[in-house]
Amino acid sequence: MLKEYTEGTKIKLIFLPSYSPSLNLIERCRWSQIAGLIDVLHYRMTTPLVVREMGQVSHGKISRPYRIKWLNGKNYTIEPDKVPGELMSCASGQWIEAVVLKDPMTFAIVEIQSITKVRFRLPTDSEIEEFWKDMPVADLDSGEWP
């Protein structure tokens, strides 16, 4: 039974909670059996989360990339031994999309697995204002919903 769940896409299902609405009754029973064999809490607490982040590289006062400012506003000081080599060749101001491993408890970055250089820039305030002016307006009835 465990082998059946470790092949193909079913591995994704076994780490859903047993009360997940996407599991039918048979899968819930199987989940209970599997959860008896696997320490799911330990797995969830120790397995890094794999996420995509987008940010801008900067050099600071040194001649190599020093930090990444992510779109969420957080900064990451680059540790050369925990990043792919491609990142070390980025110019200051280069935007990147990164596959990042994060600690599941603290959400701190453990490692940057890969990066892709992207062409991206944040819109100016006037561009944002223009965008909202051009946005179509929905004409909704003010009546009662059925």
Domain boundaries, the chain: 2-38, 49-118
Residue-wise pLDDT tens digits, 47-95: 899 999 999 999 878 788 999 999 989 999 998 888 898 998 888 889 9
- Report, as an integer, the average pLDDT of 37-41: 80
Question: Higher pLDDT residue, 9 or 29?
Answer: 29
Q: Are 11 and 30 in contact (CB under 8 A)?
A: no
Which architecture does CATH list for 49-118? Beta Barrel (2.40)
Which of these ranges, 15-29, 32-46, 69-83, 110-124, has the smallest mean pLDDT?
15-29
Q: Which pLDDT does position 9 carry in this prediction?
A: 47
Q: Which pLDDT does position 20 carry in this prediction?
A: 64
